Structures are given as C-alpha cells and as structure tokens.
Structure 1
C-alpha cells in the first residue's frame, strides 16, 4: 500500500467485511454522507445487475467502492494522483473532481485488496464512462446517476428510467447525451466522455 494512504488507514481496524470496512473508512475520515451514497449506489447497482444479467456481487462491490477517494479534497487530488503514478489528463488538471474515479480505482486495489479487473475498471470510469465500456461499467455508471449525491431529483431521471426499458446502453446514453446537449456550460469535456458519447450514439441507433 502506498504511503499516501497511511494517514487515512492507520486509525482504522479493518474487519475483513468489505461493506463494513468501506463504511468505517469513509465515516472515520469525515465522509459519512459519501458512505451513505456508496451504499445507495451499491444497492442500485445490484438491482440493475439483476435487470441486465450482470454479476450482482461485482456490481454491488463496485458501487460501494466508487467514491472512496472523496477522502482527498479537490485541491489535493492532482498531487495525490501524481504520487500514485496515475496519468493526469489536461482536463483533469483543470477540473480535479473528475480524477477521483481513477484514484478510487487505485484505493480499491491497494486499501481494500480488490483484484477483480472488471470491478476496478468500472470504478475507474464511473463518472465519465469510456469507449468499449463493459456491462459492469455501464451498470455502475447508470446506478451512480440514478442515486446521485446532490439534493433534489436529477433532471434527467425520468427519461433515463424510461430509456432503461429499451436497454442499459440507452440508459447510459441518456445521461451522456444530457451532458452533451449542455456541453457549452461544462467546465471541461473529458475525452473519455466524448469517446463514450460517440460510441453509444451509434450503438443506440443499432439496438
């Protein structure tokens, strides 16, 4: 485990139960609201996995883990990413919130000993999605957008749920298209998001 994680873990007694340990890790590092959000996303991921024949355990696990990097505040994320040898894109340097997905992936592996590449990769793209996204990637991506961590109801939620009746890809594209239609208002357009938009735009027309 990288030394950057020591101050975040040295005061925690890990039980070996992943759900308990993630909740404890976030709560004891003053991120109790995120702990609740991760539980909610885990539950929603499991529900979507059942709808679309994904692995429910992997989906729930990815949901629990996806935002664990919130323990690093925005202003510290680029430095943390560089210490962890994570490739930092110009868009991430400009808007550090986005790089939390990559940091969560490393933390899931090094702190919580996750070895399943499918889970790690889903955690690593849950904010932006990516090209050639897997079933699990899309499950977590959509679950996070349904169980969002802001106040009120997501403005895209009704359309997203309606389009999920068509396919998971339709649901994922609903959120990406919602952003794309407002891209002039976004601080940055992450290249992974742009790639996912172009790919899913074609795919939903073929389904």
Structure 2
C-alpha cells in the first residue's frame, strides 16, 4: 500500500498482514478479500478525508474471526456479553465483527477503539456510523473481488457522492440482497435504514 504513513505505521500494517496470512492460511480467498477491503478502505479514506492508517488497519482485521465456526462464535459472543437482537443462531454470521472487536485489543497492542468499533459495525451497521465505520462497511461491499452491477454502481459513486450517501446506498443494497434471498434480516436493520433515510430526506 502506498500511503503517507510513518515507518512505524507501515511496520504495524506489515506485521498485521503477516499474522492475518497465518491465521487465514486455510482460507486464502478470505485473506485476499481482507487485503482487498484494506486497499479499498484506503482509497475511500483518501476520497473522504478519513485517517488512512486506521482505514487500512480496520480493513485488514475486519474479518479476523471469520476463521471461527458458528459454535465458537456463539460461545465467545456470550463470554464477551455481545448483545444480539433476535435469534443468536440465525444471526451467527454477523457475530465475527463484534466478537473480534472485543479480542483485537488483546492481540494488537495499541489498536484504537475507533478501529475496533469499525470492525464491530461492519456486519450490521449502526444509526450513528462514524466516517471510518462507513468507509470499512462500504469497502467490504465494493472491494475488487465483489462482482455484480451493484458493486459497479457503488464504485462509480465514490468521490462523487457524500460518504453518508454512499454508505446509505451500500446498506440499502445489503437489505435487497438479504430480502431477495429469503435470508434472516437482522432486527435492527430496518431501524438503521429508516434513520438514514430520514436524514437523507431532510438534506
């Protein structure tokens, strides 16, 4: 990654990437996805004036706990007191973000709370997303490995539309994907969507 970062920050990112590669050695596609999200998060951060280092770091570790099976994710969520709306079993695919957010500070010394929050929120979003949260959430949806018209449409919006509008459209596309596939819709999703739709209408 070519960024205006300090030598220390570059070294941290290299160390994290090496640890991630080892952690995901049996999931090479997930590893490549994580690299793609990190690179895309940096591009979005540049476009919207967000801290590039935090964007790169959050992108690298956003799927840190994707290596865990469902049983382990549920057990760790209970251990850390992760709040789950609706059915924990049906929502297990969304737990890797908030579970990792609890674990990352114990793995990477000095990782910021803002990065951990972005990791926690990249699966279900929130009503009060920060710019970094929105960057990571969106990068997860439009990194180069994502295929489809929706991804191209969202990529075309980068730098042309405000970050909040880009996030809103990304979030809305996620709802379309979930509903059209008959998948479980996380209970907070409609509330989050309506909050941003209302703000959008007021602008």
TM-score range, shorter chain: 0.7 to 0.9
Task: Specify the alignment match of 1:95 in structure 2.
Answer: 91
CA contact (8 A) 1:62 1:122 kept: yes
Instruction: Note if 1:63 corresponds to 2:59.
Output: yes
Task: Specify the alignment match of 2:195 in structure 1.
Answer: 199
Q: How many residues align?
A: 190
CA contact (8 A) 2:57 2:115 kept: yes
- Which residues of 2 match residues 122-141 of structure 1 at below 5 A? 122-141=118-137
Rounded Cα–Cα distance in structure 2 between residues aligned with 1:112 and 1:43: 20
CA contact (8 A) 2:36 2:145 kept: no
Kindly state the Cα deviation for residue 93 of structure 1 after the two structures are TM-superposed.
2.4
| Structure 1 portions without partners, runs of 5+ | 1-15
Task: Specify the alignment match of 1:169 in structure 2.
Answer: 164
TM-score when normalising by structure 1: 0.80
Deviations 1:30-78 (A, max 9, x none): 3333222212111111110110111111111111110000120234311
Q: Which has the higher contact order (CA 8 A, sep 6+)?
A: 2
- 2:173 aligned to which of 169, 174, 178: 178
TM-score when normalising by structure 2: 0.81
* Partner SS, residue 126 of structure 2: coil
Rounded Cα–Cα distance in structure 1 between residues aligned with 2:142 and 2:183: 22
Deviations 1:61-116 (A, max 9, x none): 11111000012023431112212332233344213111111112122212123442
Instruction: Note if 1:158 corresponds to 2:144.
Output: no
Segments ≥4 residues shifted beyond 4 Å = none
Of 184-193 and 72-81, more deviation after overlay is shown by: 184-193
Across the aligned residues of Structure 1 and Structure 2, the Cα RMSD in angstroms comes to 2.3
